Structure 1
Amino acid sequence: MSEQENEVAVCIVGAGPVGATLAALLAAEGVAAAVVDAAPLPPMELPAFDGRCYAIAAASQRILARAGVWDRLPEPPCPILDIRVADGRPGEPASPLSLHFDHAEAGDTPFGWMVEARALRVALNARLPSLPNLSIHAPARAEVTRTPDGARIALSDGTHLRARLVVAAEGRNSPLRNQAGIRVSTLDYGCLGMVGAIAHEKPHHNTALEQFLPNGPFAQLPIAGTPEHPHASAIVWSERTAIAKRALAMDDAAYGREIARRLGDHLGRVTPIGRRWSYPLSALHAHRYTDTRLALVGDAAHGIHPIAGQGLNLGFRDVGALAALIAEALARGEDPGGAALLARYQAKRRPDALMMLGATHALERLFGNDFGPLRIARRLGIAAVGRIPPLKRFFIRQAMGVT
């Protein structure tokens, strides 16, 4: 090994929430790791509220806690204690045949927590530099050469790394995945997802709403209030592209009225706050999650419809599984990037992601229409779940990210 070449067990390319959490978790558990990202990761004060939030399932919270990130959140996250699922149409009362999930049915742990995107970024940026087993290279670009014996990474900052395993965490358009020739299957839903936040008159009581509407689901998710807006929620609104573009062009008053038509009146008058964000909705799945000395995590491996709010949590499950396999391999003196480990990783993660991809796609197809007989059947189905305890417990475990 040359003097300029630093050796690590794992090099993670991409320092978004999934890649950065994997880096923090590995380093916290004593694994020598490096993380590379094209954008800088400076420590920063909490920036202004911008409306973006993550729903962090209970299982994902445990991963963030093990990584030493959870305790560094600059503001307390808002727990989700109840979830209400209903079927309806914009401007009409929701069907009385709804479904209610109470976290107490599964114990004392909340279903999850709402964490602002800016807060998670601050916590990750505070945690990464404190880890002695982690080297950070950002901003930097990586040129990766993989062979059966290992991987070499030449960075644009002049650093050269040698790693047993490279992890692609660069998102849906992963260059490392493309370089490996891993094909993906995609599905365009012809919809936009609109994300933002609202202030409202009445308290949310830590209850989330998933409202199924003919053109796509509408979710209201409880977030912590502020002195200016004591009652606030995040929204995730899926809508046909043409309708969504018209909504995004509205002024705040008209936009708020459209939100209220879908939300109902249980929170009183609503006012949009923060920025509006939108993105095209599509599903993506890599045909395999591994290649020589390479593992895919997060959106590089899979992307699902936001109908169940589990996209990021699916990525955190990748993190938990891969970190455990690497730690076990190192403890046994095995190669943390060898073919045996990669086969175990794919066997563990691909079925879970495929199941979630299929489930979210089926839900989108089942609920994303206004066909009368089907609408009646699904409303009866929603009500029936609440009356079948084993089925209800299954959905509760899924909401908490427990597989």
Structure 2
Amino acid sequence: MTIPQTMTAARMHTVGGELRLETLETPRPGDMDVLVRVRACGIVPNLGNILANWTTWFPHMPLPPLPAVFGLDPAGEVAAVGRQVRGLKPGDRVYVNPGRSCGSCRHCRRGDTISCKHYAFQGYFGFSEHAMQTFADYPIGGLSEYMVAPASAIVRIPDSMTFDQAARLGYMGTAYSALKKTNVGPGDTVLINGISGTLGIGGAVFGLALGVSKILGTGRDRKLLEEIKALAPNRIEVFSIDDGSVTDFALAQTGGEGVDAFIDCLGPGAKQETFLQGLRGLRRGGIAVDIGAVAGELPIDVHWLMDHNQRLYGSAWFTTLEGQEMADMVAAGVADFSLLETQSYPLSEVNSAISGIAQRHGGFSNFVICP
């Protein structure tokens, strides 16, 4: 693969400003890095808010230093590898997990990289002020023709998976990692709040792939909910929160016992009560995982959690190992990404794509930029 000296990238110069197409020097991989030719980069509904409002909403979680090349979910081909990289070669089809950590703290050494205080999303935002060094090490996100990432962040994708589909692995993976934390499988029932949204659809796809016996999905849009149920009519039941209590729905579907696991995908603008109703739908010993980030302080009865041996987790992302598991499940035919409805834009139309993403078909819509 011929690698040019320069490349085109979209950079933001001021918070909330339009991304500008610019010619930059093509980055070079370090000894343990790979250079990826980006073929598709996913964009999600909250990207516009990240770019415009993040510094006001979450000043303790910094954006990369401006001007910056954003882009969270890149997929493409390996263009070059560092001299100490093994097992990857130019031409390999890959997804790049954007999660970056220091690699040497006690959390990283035991494989818990997401708990590293330096943890950041390459091309997105960091989780503390310690992320600034991480941005300096890996400054270019996926809205560019080329990017460098650690070899340890690379997920090999099968030929049966398009680059457009792979660019959705980030948000599908957020739900997958949440399901893994609950250890659900055959015989279990899972409740997913917001099942028809960007995160929730991942819970449906991988809940089915993991062999979960019954998936209970909630949302508002009845048409979208019926489309979700149609994915597996005998295993998925849906419920509009406009029709009553999520707790009552969960208990009615489980003979009063409650669900084995509860995954909440509702975002900051959602009602807290819906989240709390999901918690009350758990069985004794059940596990709840929040991945949607319902905002504000919630009145949670910890005495109830203790007495019922229940657990509540927050789950921020997924590991590269979990990313590879997802790709392998697609290769094996047990996880189906064909339900995604891709809308693809060239890099030159990135601003139009970001502003137009509000008009979407729930979580079925898959917006990608193809540099």
* Superposition TM-score, scaled by structure 2 size: 0.23
Q: What TM-score do the two structures reach when normalised by structure 1?
A: 0.22
- By percentage of residues, which structure has more strand? 1
| Larger Rg belongs to | 1
